[in-house]
Structure 1
Amino acid sequence: MENGNIRVISRAFSILVHLAKEKRPLGITEIASSVSLPKATVYRILDSLEAERAVLNRGGEYELGPVTLLLADAYRSQVGFAEAARSHLLSLRNETKETVHLFVYERGEFYYLDKIESPYQVRMHSRIGGRASLFRLSAGKALLAGMSPDDLKELPEPVPDEVAAEFPDIRSRGYAVDDEQNEQGLRCVGAAIHDGSGRPRGAVSVSAPVYRFPADLLEKYGSLVVRSAEAIGREISCFEACPCSGGRSAG
């Protein structure tokens, strides 16, 4: 029975994640097809999730409910540096006038934690809460370059040789470059965020279309993301060292 309960939880999360990715009301047939489950099973799970306000039924179509907002806000507060980093992200966006991302690293996984859009019209596929690439994004490569051998063992797969080959340059200048490797037409620079003990916690990046981010701006924007990452790292240390902050231990 325990295995059955675990399976139900796994299925419920697959449905919630699919709803989160789609960002629109979905019918049971579409959900069942997308998560490869029988419609009857999906209906029962959605009925239970609706009772907990994790989903809302909009005339036979389902979307995420208010409980998921509570969970997302709790995670952001628990991570600690999302709020502390906000002012530094705003400063970085205002200086570059380009899109700025904040990432969090958790046990081999890399996620978008915050995003401040450029005032210019640019469509990017990134979204808060989405999984980010450690191997293609500048932010991910910067994080990997600063990891210890023990940290790297947490990764679900080994670092590709071509990514590892970039590490000496990344360590030397303090930031990594994504030159249309993750998304065609976009150039990015990213720097890793470490706490006071040197533990990798996340990263920050600036992204822009290549026509607005020529190669001669790499050093300037790279220096800005390094400065922001260092400032956010100091904020993390202060947040977690203060008993009144409610932050988690840095240990």
Structure 2
Amino acid sequence: MLMAHAGEDANVSNIREELDEGALGRVQSLVRAFGLMDELAKSDSMTLSDLARTVSLPRSTAHRLLTTMEALRYVAFDRATNRWSIGVQAFTVGAVFAQTRDLGKLGRSIMRSLMAEVNHCVNIAVPEGRGICYVGQVAQNGFRPTAARPGAVLPLHTTASGKVLMAHWTRQEFDDYVAQAPLKGRTSRSIVDADRLRKELATIRDRGYAMDDEEYDAGLRCVAAMVHDRDGLPKGALSVSDRSSQLARTRLYELGPTLVMAAQQMSSEIAAQYF
């Protein structure tokens, strides 16, 4: 339970000295708003009086925060019963987070089948800022982890998983990415020229899969295909990777179509489980 006065959240207290009065007030409002949502998430619905008492806030303060969140659809108010509940936007955000972070678990059966078929490591990754975060991996016994190990965040433009996501960007999204920071190379094969990268992404869109031919690591090759959500929007990347000695360059082209079909199957199964 979130206490707002004498029992003010410790994190807010820790940053009090670093913030001016106006900024601190905004942080306190955010903390209190999240506290209200936390309590609503524990029950089907609550009255304003019960909710304000539970989080130790004045009714007027609780009402102000709730009406703001209602306008954003994070909470809902039933005027017939005068009770508040979690709103549809909170559910949407939570569902998207769960679907994104659980890709490694939800698609594990497909990843295992794919690994058994191709005899290479299979990975699943999701966007993370300017990088790609690997959230799941299925590998053969004795496999030595590569750069694509779970938890690793690698640059978008030097990885197959990152490039297949970038291939679905708008022109503006691409231009913004390039403008924010220089395209840094990891190996002599890394694409660091914006025009060349743009052409590479167009090729990826046409064929449906991306390749990393030792662009991130001189000893690693990878091929990736897009996993979509129920609306057909990019959600993550399914990839096959291995050491270059085990995964020939010509093999990448052979694996591409197989990976695309597996990614399509994963997209369908994930959408079915969540919606």
| TM-score when normalising by structure 1 | 0.60
Deviation at 1:97, TM superposition (A): 1.2
SS in 2 for 1:132: strand
The answer for the alignment partner of 1:179 in structure 2 is 213
2: CA distance between counterparts of 1:151 and 1:236? 26
Q: Is the 8 A contact 1:190 1:203 kept in 2?
A: yes
The answer for the alignment partner of 1:221 in structure 2 is 255
Deviation at 1:198, TM superposition (A): 2.4
**How do 1:82-93 residues align onto structure 2 when only pairs under 5 Å count?**
82-93=104-115
What is the letter of the counterpart of residue 136 of structure 2? D
Identical counterparts, % of pairs:
29
2: CA distance between counterparts of 1:115 and 1:5? 42
**How do 1:84-233 residues align onto structure 2 when only pairs under 5 Å count?**
84-106=106-128, 108-119=130-141, 121-149=143-171, 152=174, 155=177, 157=180, 160-233=194-267
Residue 4 of structure 1 pairs with residue 38 of structure 2: no
Q: Which runs of 5+ in 1 are unaligned?
A: 8-74, 242-251
Provide, for residues 3-57 of structure 1, a one-character-per-residue CA deviation record: whole Å limited to 9, x for no partner: 82597xxxxxxxxxxxxxxxxxxxxxxxxxxxxxxxxxxxxxxxxxxxxxxxxxx
2: CA distance between counterparts of 1:220 and 1:171? 17
The answer for the alignment partner of 1:44 in structure 2 is none
2: CA distance between counterparts of 1:121 and 1:198? 33
Structure 1 residue ranges (4+ consecutive) displaced by more than 6 angstroms after TM superposition: none
2: CA distance between counterparts of 1:5 and 1:229? 47
Q: Is the 8 A contact 2:164 2:209 kept in 1?
A: yes
Q: 1:5 to 1:132 in 2, by over 3 A?
A: farther
The answer for the alignment partner of 1:238 in structure 2 is 272
Provide, for residues 175-231 of structure 1, a one-character-per-residue CA deviation record: whole Å limited to 9, x for no partner: 111111111111111112121322211101111122222232122211121112111
The answer for the alignment partner of 1:41 in structure 2 is none
Q: Which has the higher contact order (CA 8 A, sep 6+)?
A: 1
Q: Is the 8 A contact 1:146 1:192 kept in 2?
A: no
Q: 1:240 to 1:162 in 2, by over 3 A?
A: same
Deviation at 1:152, TM superposition (A): 4.4
SS in 2 for 1:103: strand
Q: Which runs of 5+ in 2 are unaligned?
A: 1-11, 19-95, 184-193
Q: Is the 8 A contact 1:81 1:235 kept in 2?
A: no
| TM-score when normalising by structure 2 | 0.55
